[in-house]
């Protein structure tokens, strides 16, 4: 079956993909276990990607909750890349598949109830109006999008914007946060369009596979633009790495087995990078001071585009949270992750 992929999205300890067949019916290729990153890897650094057409042999339907679009992948035949849609084809597909009218024809229906009534878990909306996008980073990158379809603001059950797990858009968020050397940034819809250099935005929403706190939750699992925005996807950097065998891991931790050439190259790169990062921060400071003093919000030449924005940063100090939030709430929202760090000291 030929599937045009419209969602390559992150989930806990895995990934999820979804798309449409030649009749524009939703299809979510799945396995009996959670898809892992290697399941969507087709070759050296080549992964299943949005707006590309693949030949995927599917064995049978495998609905799960409201995910009635699920089909089991037949692993006897490898997934084959066929081609990538151009912007004209993408625009035509998005316009044909968009279901804005289902919302605008009944302003009292929210996105969750709409999908439940259809007994489906996937929907494409657009063009949409982006109101704001919140980007944040701790151990992971997080994105939450407030957007509208006509007069209808799309919210979840807590009346908040929807979280986004699209791997390409998460890579964009990580890139922006790293460039700005900040852990939080809030951008307007116009900011997003200017930075991405796009005219229209379409969004794929999917319901979670399993209920959480007694309900299924809508997530943004695909962000599509016309024209397509350029962004390298950090598949390995944004997806959880599977645990390796302890005996193999412990053998690799012996410092005497580290390749001296590897360490020497890392030292040179780290030293040069530290110097470049320091100089980058100095230059960014000078540029921001100049643009702020001269009320410049945009500078563009043939090599680079610069956008100057001010944004409120909201944070919740850990000591205040622990002081004022009840212990039973803290226990419910507590998240424990095992994180590996490599701390580096440049000696000379």
Would you say residue 250 has pLDDT above 50?
no
Last residue within a domain, chosen from 236, 264, 296: 236
In a shared domain, residues 176 and 205: yes
In a domain, 147, yes or no: yes
Backbone angles phi, psi at 306, to 5 degrees: -120, 135
Pairing of strands 14-20, 26-30: antiparallel
- Lowest mean pLDDT segment, chosen from 24-33, 269-278, 289-298: 269-278
- Within 13 Å and on the Cβ side, how many CA atoms surround 81? 14
In a shared domain, residues 63 and 25: yes
Would you say residue 254 has pLDDT above 80?
no
Would you say residue 257 has pLDDT above 70?
no
In a shared domain, residues 221 and 286: no
In a shared domain, residues 324 and 261: yes
Would you say residue 175 has pLDDT above 80?
yes
Show the tokens assigned to 268. 């040179």
What are 123's strand-pairing partners? 205
In a shared domain, residues 123 and 267: no
Last residue within a domain, chosen from 236, 261, 284: 236
In a shared domain, residues 324 and 182: no
In a shared domain, residues 69 and 192: yes
Would you say residue 142 has pLDDT above 90?
yes
Q: What is the residue range of 113's domain?
A: 2-236
Would you say residue 303 has pLDDT above 80?
yes
| Percent of all residues in the chain with a pLDDT value above 90, rounded to a whole number | 55
Would you say residue 255 has pLDDT above 50?
no
Provide mean pLDDT across the span 277-288: 89
Angle of CA points 4, 44, 75, to nearest 5°: 55
In a shared domain, residues 268 and 176: no
In a shared domain, residues 99 and 192: yes
In a shared domain, residues 79 and 151: yes
- Lowest mean pLDDT segment, chosen from 5-9, 130-134, 260-264, 270-274: 260-264
Last residue within a domain, chosen from 207, 236, 265: 236
In a shared domain, residues 114 and 224: yes
Predicted TM-score (pTM) of the model is 0.76
In a domain, 346, yes or no: no
Distance from C-alpha of 298 to C-alpha of 275, rounded to nearest angstrom: 27
In a shared domain, residues 156 and 212: yes
Q: Could you give the number of structural domains in the chain?
A: 2
- Lowest mean pLDDT segment, chosen from 21-25, 286-290, 296-300, 317-321: 317-321
């Amino acid at each position: 079956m030929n599937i045009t992929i419209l969602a390559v999205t992150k989930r806990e300890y895995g990934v999820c993909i979804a798309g449409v067949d030649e009749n524009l019916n939703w299809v979510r290729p799945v396995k009996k276990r959670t898809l892992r990153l290697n399941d969507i890897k087709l070759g050296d650094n080549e992964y299943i990607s949005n707006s590309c057409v693949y030949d995927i042999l599917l064995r049978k339907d495998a609905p799960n909750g409201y995910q009635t679009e699920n089909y089991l992948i037949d692993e006897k035949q490898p997934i084959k890349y066929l081609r990538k849609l151009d912007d004209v084809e993408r625009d035509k597909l998005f316009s044909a598949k968009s279901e804005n009218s289902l919302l605008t024809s009944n302003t009292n229906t929210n996105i969750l109830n709409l999908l439940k009534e259809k007994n489906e878990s996937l929907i494409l909306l657009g063009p949409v109006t982006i109101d704001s996008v919140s980007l944040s980073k701790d151990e992971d990158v997080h994105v939450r999008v407030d957007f509208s379809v006509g007069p209808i603001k799309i919210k979840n059950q807590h009346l908040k914007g929807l979280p986004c797990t699209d791997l390409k858009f998460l890579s964009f968020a990580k890139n922006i946060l790293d460039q700005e050397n900040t852990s939080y940034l809030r951008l307007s819809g116009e900011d997003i369009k200017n930075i991405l250099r796009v005219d229209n935005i379409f969004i794929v929403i999917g319901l979670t596979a399993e209920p959480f706190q007694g309900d299924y939750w809508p997530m943004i699992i695909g962000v599509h633009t016309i024209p397509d925005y350029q962004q390298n996807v950090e598949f390995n950097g944004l997806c959880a790495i599977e645990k390796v065998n302890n005996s193999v891991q412990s053998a690799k931790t012996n410092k005497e087995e580290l390749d001296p050439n590897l360490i020497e190259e890392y030292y040179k790169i780290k030293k040069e990078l530290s110097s470049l990062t320091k100089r980058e921060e100095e230059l960014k400071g000078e540029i921001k001071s100049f643009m702020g003093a001269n009320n410049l919000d945009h500078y563009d030449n043939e090599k680079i585009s610069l956008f100057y924005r001010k944004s409120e940063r909201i944070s919740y100090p850990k000591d205040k949270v622990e002081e004022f939030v009840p212990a039973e709430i803290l226990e419910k929202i507590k998240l424990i992750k095992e994180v590996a760090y490599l701390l580096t000291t440049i000696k000379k």
